[in-house]
Structures are given as C-alpha cells and as structure tokens.
Amino acid sequence: MTDIQYTPRELIVCAAARLLSDGESVFVGTGLPLVGALLAKKLHAPNMMAIYECGAVDPEPRELPWSVACSWTCYKAPIILSMSSVFGHSRAGYADVGFLGGAQIDMYGNINATCIGPYDQPTVRLTGSGGANDIASLSDRVIFMGLHLPERFPEKCDYITSPGFLDGPGGRERAGLLGQGPWRVISHLGVMGFDDETCRMKLISYHPGVTPEIVQQFTGFELLIPDDVIETPKPSEEELRLLREEVDPNQLFCF
C-alpha cells in the first residue's frame, strides 16, 4: 500500500472496483459507479461486461462518459441495443451486479432518489428512478455508492424508488423480485453489507482515519457491527495511477 494522498471519492471508487470480478455482467449507473466499473475493467476484470441504460454493451470509451447516456458509452461497443432490450436481458437474469447511487438508503437497502419529505409535499424533489428501479429489481446483486450522513442513511426512506429488502426478510420474495438484492454499500466512511438472517445493514470495513463508532454516529439507525470488522485497505499506487491517468484524468467525478 501507499502513503500517496487520495480523496474520499478516490477511496470510494477503488473500494467499489475491488468488488467486481472478471467475467461478470455489470449494469452501470451514472457517476461514481461508472468510474468504479471502468477502473475494475482496467485493473483486474478485463472480461467484465459493462451494460449501460442507453443500450450500449461492453464499450471501450476513449474518454470518461459524463453519464450513462453519453455518446462515449457507445464507443467500440460490439452491440448497441434499445433501452427495453438491455432491461429485458436483466429480466432474463443476465445482470450479475447493479451499480447504483441515490439520496437515501435505509437499514434494509431500499434506495430513495425521488423526494425528501412526503411525496405530495416534498421539501426536495429529486430526479427520480430512471432505470434504477429496474436495475435494483432485476440484478442478482446491488452495490450502492454515496455520502454517509444520518439524513442519507435513515431508518426508513422517505420514498422507495428502488427496492432493497423492502420491509425485511422475505420482502423481495413476496414482491416477486429477482436476485439476492442489496449486497454492498460504499460510503466515504466505510463498506457495509447485509445480515443474512435479518437483512439489516452491517459494517464490513471502516475507512482509514475512521472508527466503527464514527460510522455509527453518522448512521440514522442501529448499524450491525460484527466482531470481525476491519479497516478498508488504502488505494494502491497502481489503482490511483490508473484512476488519475486513464479513467478520470480530468477529475470529472473524483475531485
């Protein structure tokens, strides 16, 4: 590991990239998820197949796309489908991982990207689902990335845009959803997973300079903290070099 300085966003992206495996199909969202997927492909997963909501499959973007609808997501793509087609492939079970962000995520991994406050009289109206609901409902595993604050990690989301485990154990099955559901949550404080029995969020690792107590302090519900929780490994020199020189050299997302 290295003592090179890195930003919180760079640590989030490196932690996310490590979770992706070679040969997986990954449905990529806009922002840090997109950066993490591209970093993983350059680092250790050259055969990872990125799927974009616009319909592009497995492109080789010459520049970092600014969103999943950016034309760079189509560059050298062996196939470009319609939006309905790529979601149809997910419904058929071909999306191993869904990579998402949002404004809120609760203790059961439900995600809110629609509104803060009551739906009919919100204090903030957000962008809404886009394809996030489909990705969360149909992918085998879901990774969430976002900032870690009590209002962003409430006990219950103000609105469920994208389903996690809904109301707890058996929630996804009762709703007829596919896949295992929420798998990992990566914030600027740590990496979380979900308990197999209760489906509640649990701490897996805390980032350098952070403690489990600090992670809990910035969480709006009781976070499960196992005895084997560890410190997140720092970004390596190679991870930072590829991220800064080849993936996001203009600091579009990792500033």
Is 53 a known active-site residue? yes
**Residue that has been written with the tokens 């999306």 in this structure:** 95
Q: What is the DSSP letter of 207?
A: -
Strands 79-80 and 115-116: unpaired
Please answer whether residues 139 and 27 qualify as being in contact, where contact means their C-beta atoms are separated by less than 8 angstroms.
Answer: yes
Beta-strand (E) ranges in the chain? 25-28, 49-52, 56-57, 79-80, 97-100, 104-105, 111-112, 115-116, 124-125, 141-145, 181-186, 190-194, 201-206, 230-231
Which of the residues 10, 24, 53, 239 is marked catalytic? 53
Q: How far apart are CA 77 and CA 43, in angstroms?
A: 20
> Could you list the active site residues?
53
